[in-house]
Amino acid sequence: MLKDIFMNLSKNQFLNSAAKKYGLKMGAQSVVAGTNIDEVMKSIKELNAHGISCTVDNLGEFVCKEEEATEAKEQILKVIEAIREHKVDAHISLKPTQLGLDIEYSVCLSNLREIVDRANNYSIFINIDMEDSGHLRPTFDLLDELSIEYDNVGTVIQAYLLRADEYLEKYKNYRLRIVKGAYKESNECAYQNKNDIDKNFIKLIEWHLLNGKFTSIATHDHMIINHVKEFVKRKNIPNEQFEFQMLYGFRKELQLRLANEGYNFCTYVPFGNDWYGYFMRRLAERPQNLNLVAKQVFNKQTNTVIGVAAAAFLLGRMTKKTKKKKRR
């Protein structure tokens, strides 16, 4: 139920607008690396100093106008220029919907092509993030078209999808990030049980480590991380073939420990005013994230904001049910 609450809250445009107004004062400052490029560059330099590379996400939700997609593209181009100017160890992660995928495929492709081309000039990698299953096919289509001209582009495979192994095999020659998955999906296309997802997650990681190109293993689960460490040692897989990834602000000590142990480590660094949807999905993704955030993020103000948001959502559901009963 709690997961459903946060997933529904992540799609609430009213609360998203309110979050932009109040900025990171609502408590997300520990998991979002600032609201502008200068702030995110400072955060990246701090992580680089500890031997940690970064993938930068210019946050954005609810893009429904072409000018908004263009604005997002221009911001990402500025981030690419900043990465080059500051000479930091970082690349880009982006969502196709932010670049206009829900407006028109050609709009998104044009914006994304400009980004990939600019990044290619500077040898900067572009990771196309996966969103919900409704955007799966067009996202793969974008990757297929762009990879004809460029080799600095890759994507994400979500382990909760029933057909994830098919996607992994098809794109084995790409740099891939393997994740469990953060969206609410039906049992027609995705596993619902945590054990099933974890089992598939490990299977996909092992397969790509043995058969694929560079593998980004995105998890905060120390048990899975330990499993991978034992697996690569047993199979003599060099560290240069993979990296661990975690979200900015989560399990900081473990991030530093893995980097100090000599593993490639990359932190997913989100920034910008449009942080609300990202923040809510992180809370919904796994119950453990609630515990992590409670330790590192929550204060009285944050609890109040999220409590009010959750109450507003529940009240809205109750109101809808009451109206339905009246109609009957």
**Calpha distance 19→275 (Å, rounded):** 8
| Residues 42 and 156 reside in one and the same domain | yes
- According to the model, what pLDDT value does residue 32 have? 87
| Residues 268 and 287 reside in one and the same domain | no
The structure tokens listed for 40 are 């995110």
- According to the model, what pLDDT value does residue 62 have? 76
In this predicted structure, the answer to whether residue 79 has a pLDDT above a threshold of 80 is yes
- According to the model, what pLDDT value does residue 134 have? 94
Among the residue ranges 35-44, 87-96, 293-302, the one predicted with the least confidence is 293-302
Sequence letter at residue 103:
I
Active site residue 129: yes
Query: pLDDT band at 16, cuts 50/70/90?
Result: low
> Looking at residues 123-142, what average pLDDT do you find?
97
- According to the model, what pLDDT value does residue 145 have? 98
Tell me the residue range of the domain where 22 lies. Answer: 1-26+275-328
The structure tokens listed for 163 are 């057909």
The structure tokens listed for 142 are 């974008």
| Residues 184 and 301 reside in one and the same domain | no
| Residues 18 and 95 reside in one and the same domain | no
| Residues 321 and 196 reside in one and the same domain | no
> Looking at residues 114-135, what average pLDDT do you find?
97
| Residues 151 and 295 reside in one and the same domain | no
- Of 236, 257, 274, at which residue does a domain stop? 274
> Looking at residues 278-300, what average pLDDT do you find?
57
| Residues 139 and 205 reside in one and the same domain | yes
| Residues 195 and 323 reside in one and the same domain | no
| Residues 206 and 302 reside in one and the same domain | no
Q: Name the residue with higher pLDDT: 54 or 13.
A: 54
| Residues 321 and 188 reside in one and the same domain | no
In this predicted structure, the answer to whether residue 288 has a pLDDT above a threshold of 80 is no
CATH of the domain at 205: 3.20.20.220
Catalytic residue among 177, 251, 282, 286: 177
Chain mean position to CA 27? 19
The structure tokens listed for 48 are 């680089």
- According to the model, what pLDDT value does residue 58 have? 95
Active site residue 274: no
Chain mean position to CA 82? 21
Percentage of the chain with pLDDT > 70?
75
The model's pLDDT over 303-316, given as tens digits with 9 standing for 90+, comes to 444 444 544 444 44
Task: Provide the number of structural domains found in the chain.
Answer: 2
| Residues 101 and 231 reside in one and the same domain | yes
In this predicted structure, the answer to whether residue 289 has a pLDDT above a threshold of 90 is no
Among the residue ranges 142-146, 172-176, 308-312, the one predicted with the least confidence is 308-312
The model's pLDDT over 19-39, given as tens digits with 9 standing for 90+, comes to 555 555 545 667 889 889 999
Using alpha carbons, select from 244, 242, 254 the residue that is nearest to residue 296: 254
Using alpha carbons, select from 150, 152, 208 the residue that is nearest to residue 177: 208
- Of 255, 274, 293, at which residue does a domain stop? 274
Is the Cβ–Cβ distance between 174 and 214 less than 8 Å? no
Is the Cβ–Cβ distance between 247 and 10 less than 8 Å? no
**What residues contact 233, with CB distance under 8 A and at least 6 apart?**
none
| Residues 59 and 141 reside in one and the same domain | yes
Among the residue ranges 145-149, 157-161, 229-233, 305-309, the one predicted with the least confidence is 305-309
- Tell me the backbone φ, ψ of residue 243, rounded to 5 degrees: -145, 155
Catalytic residue among 57, 102, 118, 129: 129
In this predicted structure, the answer to whether residue 70 has a pLDDT above a threshold of 90 is yes
Q: Name the residue with higher pLDDT: 57 or 5.
A: 57
